[in-house]
A and B are shown apart, each in its own frame.
Chain A
Amino acid sequence: MLQASNIRVSYRTGGSSVRALDGVDLNIGGDQVVGIVGESGCGKSTLVKALLRLLPRSATVEFDRLEFNGRDLLCTDERTFRREVLWREIALVPQSAQNSLNPVYRVGDQIVEAIRAHSATSSAKARDRVAELFDVVGLQAELMGRFPHEFSGGMRQRAMIAMALAFEPALIVMDEPTTGLDVLVQERLLRRIREIRARVKSSILLITHDIAVIAEMADRVGVLYAGRMMEDAPMADLFDLPFHPYTLGLRNAFPSIKALERELISIRGSPPNLALPVQGCGFAARCPFVLQACREGRPALLSVGPEHRSACLRHAEADALRQQAAEKQTWRS
């Protein structure tokens, strides 16, 4: 459905240029939840904004290819994109969606306005539509007349999802949808998103730093690091048989109540400075399995299983690396 290849984004800041995304491919099929997981500064949000053309002028965006439902978006001009694609075909639930509502307008009115801005709909029809959407996301219709401050965090998030669903877009992009919500609210929201998907069949691109949320929601997942895709795979494969050392490290670092005795292991160092050219593998400086060759050439994203790709030079030794990666000592020196 969505095919984007070789996405490159750089930001000009002062005299230097920061390469935020460096040759990332993204494919999303119909009726699929694709997760992108990564830490701050890895380019997650840039990826979203590049796809939706929301980047500021200081950013240079290049794609080799960008097609959506058979339509070449590279040849679509700005106006057509905003009129025909954004919201209608691809909708966004922005990061901190909870604060994206205007505090001085009633929540229902804001969604009515969004619908009317993108289609010739009468006010009454738009209002009926909002009532339907509220029902889909599990908000009572009488809440339409309330102001954002009368909503809880989870309710505001659901209102933003209702707005995104207005035109039954083929793809909904959710940027950190549960960050800042309490666990019980988060669990409910995720459950609600799954229910909505069963009804409206939109695909979802889910961006988050929370591996547990991805594990729960996604069919496929991409691991982004320093602006590059390190590994991408069907969800279960990524957990059962990860190939990239960064994925192994992330798995070690993430706590789970189902493994109380497991010791958490962090990854030493910090991500590379993207204002400087990154030679070789972006993870080389922090990787316990680094070879000289890793620093010289950038490892290609290679197929390691069905629909499973990883960008590492040591795939042949993956079994041994997985064993070593489970030892705390490996990540120390």
Chain B
Amino acid sequence: MALLEVEGLTRHFAIRRPLLERLLHRGQDSVIKAVECLSFSLEAGEILGIVGESGCGKSTTCNLLAKLDEPCSGHIRFDGRDVGELSGAALRQFRAAVQMIFQDPFDSLNPRFRVFDLVAEAPRALGLMGERELTAAVHATLDLVGLRAADYVERYPHQMSGGERQRVGIASALIVKPRLVIADEPISMLDVSIRASILDLLRDLSQRLQFSCIYISHDLSILANICDRVMVMYLGQQVEIGSPADIVRRPQHPYTRALVAAVPVPDPHYRRPPIRIKGDLARPVDPPPGCRFAPRCLHTVEACRRDVPPARAFGPQHLAACHVAPIEPEEDGRSVECPV
């Protein structure tokens, strides 16, 4: 059974218009449709990447999965139980079982806490263990993330490098033995030369400790490297999901194609395929019906502007939500270069 099952997950935010307009019965309230009908599942020990541009709903999805925010509709089932109905002890258990790793290790660690207290914070807050047991757990967890406990427990965040801080961030997530770790761009603030070591650590530990991971990033090359599957989002909609090879080598949705083509490649001999997309990224405020990518797509048919495309299978694990796909390469050739 899958560890996590998400079905039709939707989160809208209402923006009320100014008081004067309301009093005069002018205008209409807007709705930000941040996440719309997301469905996917996650196996134990699996790493799922979520990629998309700003405003695509990556972070809202994170918050919903961690139950920091409530969905407007849809269900999240964790370990077979509906997360929306958890309360009391079951909710506390869920809080320990789902942990987050944040983007900025310079911001997310309390500067007045020593490493010991940073790592001990979650088990203390959840009342999981006594102080003696806690000391042992903190030391063991620090060793796990590659920091020699004796050298680090007394340190403050400012006495550590970015990589060390992020390891502390990982330790404070792992100490409560989570079954799902949500990592939101955990290496984007770190130097290139040490990023790989944090990725290795996450992947290693997820295999050894058998936790699943949702890895959020805007950088497809990193996701392709660490994830078992990658999900592409556009303005709150799930566009495509598949293995890294499916997404990078056989992208079906026109948006995924454009995204893959735009990824910078560290090779001066690389010739980029043309990026077939028009217009600019909109915000998910009062989006039109149908496929939200339709206004920028060069392959639209009538249905695109009317019906949300259902996810269709293009391979064993590969789903894409497009009315038109598969798009033949020669048909692709009719499209024009986008105006810059």
Q: Which residues of A come within 8 Å of B, CB atoms? A: 39-40, 138, 152, 154, 182-188, 190-192, 195, 209-213, 215-216, 235-236, 239, 249-258, 260, 264-268, 270
Contacts and interface: CB of A to CB of B under 8 A. Distances in A.
A285 B39 CA distance: 48
B275 A184 contact: yes
Contact of A255 (B198, B218, B225): B225
13 contacts: A183-B264, A184-B262, A212-B264, A215-B264, A216-B270, A253-B192, A253-B196, A257-B265, A258-B265, A258-B270, A264-B200, A268-B197, A270-B161
Contact of A215 (B196, B224, B268): B268
B15 interface: no
A266 B196 contact: yes
Pick from B200, B221, B260 the residue with the most CB of A within 10 Å: B221
A266 B268 CA distance: 22
Contacts of B262: 183-184, 186-187
Contact of B224 (A184, A190, A195, A255): A255
A191 B194 CA distance: 30
Interface in B211-247: 218-222, 224-225, 244-245
Contacts of B197: 266, 268
Nearest to A184: B262
Contacts of B225: 255, 260, 264
Given A257-B260, A260-B245, A138 B265 contact: no
Interface residues of B, number: 45
A266 B193 contact: yes
Interface string B290-311: 0000000000000000000000
A209 B192 CA distance: 8
Contacts, number: 127
A250 B191 CA distance: 10
Contacts of A235: 268
A77 to B, nearest CB: 38
Interface in B261-288: 261-270, 272, 275, 277, 280-281
Nearest to A235: B268
A252 B252 CA distance: 30
Contacts of B338: 188
B220 A182 contact: no
Given A183-B220, A184-B258, A188-B340, A40 B267 contact: no
A236 B53 contact: no
Given A183-B263, A255-B222, A266-B196, 15 more contacts: A138-B340, A183-B264, A187-B262, A209-B191, A215-B267, A215-B270, A216-B272, A253-B194, A255-B219, A256-B267, A257-B263, A266-B195, A266-B200, A267-B194, A270-B161
B340 A257 contact: no
B205 interface: no
A151 B97 CA distance: 42
A227 B296 CA distance: 45
B178 to A, nearest CB: 24
B340 A192 contact: yes
The A contact surface, by secondary structure, is: helix
B8 interface: no
Contacts of A188: 338, 340
Contacts of A39: 191-193
Nearest to A258: B265
B32 interface: no
A212 B258 contact: no
B255 to A, nearest CB: 9
Contacts of B272: 187, 216
Contact of A152 (B219, B266, B280): B280
Contacts of A253: 192-196
A213 B272 CA distance: 13
A213 B262 CA distance: 11
B249 to A, nearest CB: 8
A213 B266 CA distance: 7
A249 B194 CA distance: 10
A267 B194 CA distance: 6
A266 B258 CA distance: 29
A85 B192 CA distance: 35
B280 A266 contact: no
B333 to A, nearest CB: 20
B163 interface: yes
A183 B209 CA distance: 34
B189 to A, nearest CB: 9
Given A260-B245, A267-B193, A251 B266 contact: yes
B267 A195 contact: no
A182 B281 contact: yes
A249 B219 CA distance: 20
A209 B194 CA distance: 13
A307 B298 CA distance: 45
Nearest to B225: A255
A250 B192 contact: yes
Give the top 3 A-B pairs by smallest Cβ distance, nearest first: A212-B264, A264-B196, A266-B196
Contacts of B54: 182
Contact of B194 (A138, A195, A270): A270
A257 B191 CA distance: 19
Contacts of B267: 215, 239, 256, 258
Nearest to B270: A258
A312 to B, nearest CB: 17
A145 B43 CA distance: 53
A266 B167 CA distance: 15
Nearest to A40: B191
Given A187-B275, A270-B194, A213 B264 contact: yes
A257 B221 contact: yes
B20 to A, nearest CB: 21
Given A138-B340, A258-B270, A260-B225, A210 B264 contact: yes
B248 interface: yes
Most chain A beta-carbon contacts within 10 A, residue among B192, B263, B267: B192
A236 B196 CA distance: 24
A195 B340 contact: yes
B322 to A, nearest CB: 18
